[in-house]
Amino acid sequence: MRAFNHGVRSGDWEPMLVQFENDAELRFPRVAFRGIDEIRRAYLEQGPDDEIVLLGVQEDVAAFAWSKGGTGRMLFEIDRGAIAKLTVVFDER
């Protein structure tokens, strides 16, 4: 979460991106990005403008809340210590 929030504040997403494998997949409800270059481009071109707070972690799922309101979950698939797949699910308001 620290690296994500750093990216929101500074526009420097590299501390977060180094946690992904080169061929990682990042999925949101209506869009997916494949490969670190595509993920990087997405964050640079349309990165979020709101920080998140960790609500809890259970195995490979992290619950979070946006500081401006709303909640969601991140489902992680880790391979050799790096994120291979991250699926972000937003809770309905």
Token representation of residue 31: 């869009």
**Three-class secondary structure of residue 30 per DSSP:** coil
How confident is the model at residue 93, as a pLDDT? 66
Kindly report the CATH number assigned to the domain that includes residue 69: 3.10.450.50
- Taking only the tens of pLDDT, the chain with its 93 residues reads 899 999 999 999 999 999 999 999 999 999 999 999 999 999 999 999 999 999 999 999 999 999 999 999 999 999 999 999 999 999 986
Structural domain containing residue 25: 2-90
Q: How far apart are CA 26 and CA 59, in angstroms?
A: 19
For the chain, the domain total comes to: 1
The pTM assigned to this predicted structure is: 0.91
DSSP 8-state class, residue 47: -
How confident is the model at residue 22, as a pLDDT? 97
Phi-psi region of 89 (alpha: psi -120 to 50; beta: other; left: phi over 0): beta
